Amino acid sequence: MTAAAAVRHWCTGLLRNAAILAARPLALAAAVAVLTLIPHGAANADGHAYRKVAPSADGIGKTYMGREIAGVMGWQAAAWLERPERMQEERPDLLQAELGLQPGMVVADIGAGSGYHARRMAEAVGKTGTVYAVDVQPEMVQMLAALARDERYGNLKPVLARVDNVQLPPASIDLALMVDVYHELEFPFEVMRSLVRALKPGGRVAFVEYRAEDPNVPIKPAHKMTEAQIRREAAPHALAWERTSNVLPWQHIVVFRKKG
Ligand SMILES: C[S@@+](CC[C@H](N)C(=O)[O-])C[C@H]1O[C@@H](n2cnc3c(N)ncnc32)[C@H](O)[C@@H]1O
């Protein structure tokens, strides 16, 4: 069985067990109810405020630097991340070539989901390297743990993030990748602050987001970002823009390097 098929099988198993999780919606509804009572107007450490707005269809009703944050893609949709047509739509092979990964590197896939990119990163950094596969949903982390039991991905370390912290060791990472993730971070400032701490001096972070500048990219607006917005939101952190690549069909790759 291929790794992608194994992940699909795993997702199906999880869905079959959905009854066990039947109590979750109630807990989630209660959590959402509590969260909506918390004002989002408080400024973060850099003085940028989260603001509460009327939620759009795909947003969470909270803005950061003028952008409404999108809702998190639930683990129930993990099989969608493994869809075969993604190879043509997103060209993960071209993305990997752009990242310039080398054997022995320590890298992180932030918001790794089913491990679609983490698997490719694990092959690129080899047995002497490490891939931290980080996600905030425990069900996604279970899928990543299943991958790590496959000897081909023995260098993959699953990590359960907090909603505001990537939970990685300080100054440990050569490159962090975020594919279709940043726009749905509930606490983008805090997550980026924790991620920059985890980068080695000179380490890189690559944002991969659907291009909002291009109306022909068939993705809902809340799940797209302009390059200008990405650069605006990176500006409060100790990051220097390095380059932007548009080799992918629908996404841009915007790369920053940690200063100092
Ligand atoms: C659209 S999926 C993309 C998954 C993967 N990067 C890919 O391209 O296949 C977004 C993922 O980000 C995760 N995520 C959302 N907020 C997060 C956070 N604060 N920390 C870590 N992961 C997060 C979600 O749980 C979900 O698995």
Instruction: Kindly report the CATH number that applies to the domain delimited by 84-258.
Output: 3.40.50.150
Determine the average pLDDT of the residues in 81-93: 97
| pLDDT band at residue 260 using 50, 70 and 90 as cut-offs | confident
Give distance in angstroms: CA of 199 to centre of ligand 1: 19
Q: How far is CA 9 from CA 3, 90, 190, in A?
A: 10, 23, 34
- pLDDT over 80 at 142, yes or no: yes
**CA atoms within 13 A of residue 143's CA, in its CB half-sphere:** 34
pLDDT per residue as tens digits for the range 190-215: 999 999 999 999 999 999 999 999 99
What tokens appear for 154 in the block? 């023995």
Output the CA–CA distances (angstroms, integers) from residue 224 to 51, 64, 252, in the order listed. 19, 14, 10
Which residue in the block uniquely carries the two structure tokens 């200063």? 259
The pLDDT score that the predictor gives to residue 113 is 98
- Tell me the C-alpha distance between 131 and 122, whole Å: 6
CA-nearest residue, atom 11 of ligand 1: 111
Cα distance between residue 214 and residue 232, in whole Å: 19
The pLDDT value given to residue 47: 67
For residue 20, the model assigns a pLDDT of: 30
CA angle 240/73/69 to nearest 5° reads: 50
135 CA from centroid of ligand 1 (Å): 6
Task: Give 214 Cα–ligand 1 centroid separation in angstroms.
Answer: 23
Nearest CA to ligand 1 atom 4: 113
Pocket test for ligand 1, best of 11, 72, 96 (most atoms within 8 A of CB): 72
For ligand 1, the distance from its centroid to the CA atom of residue 74, given in whole angstroms, is 9
Ligand 1 nearest-atom number relative to CA 223: 1
Spacing, Cα 242 to ligand 1 middle (Å): 24
- Residue 34's pLDDT band (cuts 50, 70, 90): very low
| Pocket around ligand 1 at a 6 A CB cut-off | 72-73, 81, 110-113, 116-117, 134-137, 140, 161, 163, 179-181, 184-185, 191
* Ligand 1 centroid, distance to 180 Cα (angstroms): 7
- Mean per-residue pLDDT for 225-234? 98
Domain segments of the chain: what residues? 11-70, 84-258
The larger pLDDT score, comparing residue 33 to residue 137, is at 137
pLDDT bucket at 24, cuts 50 / 70 / 90: very low
